[in-house]
Amino acid sequence: MHPVATLRLIQAMIKARMASRPIIPKDIWQIKGLVCSGIDTTIYQEEITNNWGVKPLDVYIATETCFIAMQSWDKKGMTLVPYSNFYEFIPEEEYLRNQRDGNYKPKTVLADELVADKIYEIVFTNFHGGSFVRYRIGDLIKVISIGDEETSSTLPQIVFQGRADDIIDISGFVRLNEKEIWNAIQNTYLPYEDWTVRKERSEQNPVLHIYLELAGNHYDDQTVASLINDQFINMRKDDRNLKGMINLVPIKVTLLKQGTFHEYMRIKQSEGFEIAFLKPHHINPSDAVLDDLLTISASL
Predicted confidence (pLDDT) at residue 257 exceeds the cutoff of 90: yes
pLDDT in tens, 22-46: 999 999 999 999 999 887 787 788 8
Quote the pLDDT of residue 179. Answer: 85
Quote the pLDDT of residue 195. Answer: 95
Predicted confidence (pLDDT) at residue 240 exceeds the cutoff of 80: no
CA distance 79 to 60: 9
Q: What are the structural domain ranges in the chain?
A: 1-30, 57-163, 167-299
Predicted confidence (pLDDT) at residue 197 exceeds the cutoff of 60: yes
Quote the pLDDT of residue 53. Answer: 92
Backbone angles phi, psi at 147, to 5 degrees: 95, 165
Long-range contacts of 205-208 (CB under 8 A, 24+ apart): 205/248, 205/249, 205/250, 206/170, 206/171, 206/248, 206/249, 207/249, 207/250, 207/251, 207/252, 208/168, 208/170, 208/176, 208/249, 208/250, 208/251, 208/252
Q: Which helix (H) or strand (E) holds 297?
A: helix 287-299
Q: What percent of the chain has pLDDT over 70?
A: 92
Burial readout 214-226 (b: 16 or more C-beta within 10 A, e: otherwise): beeeebeeeebbe
Q: Which CATH class is domain 167-299?
A: alpha beta
Quote the pLDDT of residue 187. Answer: 92
More confident residue, 110 or 76: 110
Long-range contacts of 92-97 (CB under 8 A, 24+ apart): 92/118, 92/119, 92/120, 92/121, 92/140, 95/120, 95/121, 95/140, 95/164
Predicted confidence (pLDDT) at residue 274 exceeds the cutoff of 80: yes
Work out the pLDDT band at 145, boundaries 50, 70, 90: very high
